Copies of this chain bind each other. A is one copy, B any other.
Amino acid sequence: MAETFKIRRLEMSDKRKGYIELLGQLSVSGSVTDEEFDRRFEEISLYGEEHVICVIEEETSGKIAATGSAMIEKKFLRNCGKAGHIEDVVVDSRFRGKQLGKKVVEFLSDHCKSMGCYKVILDCSVENKVFYEKCGLVYKGVHMAKYFA
């Protein structure tokens, strides 16, 4: 059966299309209830164009095949500039090798540019550095974290 991929914003009904399970291929997603999902969806929606989540749906199976998010940060630096933060990019292991990750990064990057950001940034593992270089990003430094839980 032919695969048809459509790129768009996350919708509330995407929970039924495997969105949380897909995030689970990236990190711990946990067991999110429908109520928790809807509440978080609405909280993020309040930010409008400043926090967008992109998905690629495979329409034949009705499954979410890839996703990524972008959040826009307002700074004082760079003449009160804005920076786009790309987060949580993942492609379903069943759909890899089809450039879906690149399409997600381009979608989010284009969005941040259209919103007036002077840059987009993201953090990744050393293994994924080459992939993001193919998406037009360059190495800038190191990523550090402190976990509370």
Contacts and interface: CB of A to CB of B under 8 A. Distances in A.
Copies assembled = 2
A64 B45 CA distance: 36
Contact of A148 (B88, B118, B122): B118
A123 B146 contact: no
Interface in A70-111: 71, 73-80, 83, 85, 87-88, 109
Interface of A: 19-20, 23, 26-32, 36-37, 39-40, 43-44, 51, 69, 71, 73-80, 83, 85, 87-88, 109, 113, 117-126, 129, 132-133, 135-149
Contacts of A122: 143-145
Most buried by B among A109, A122, A126, A144: A144
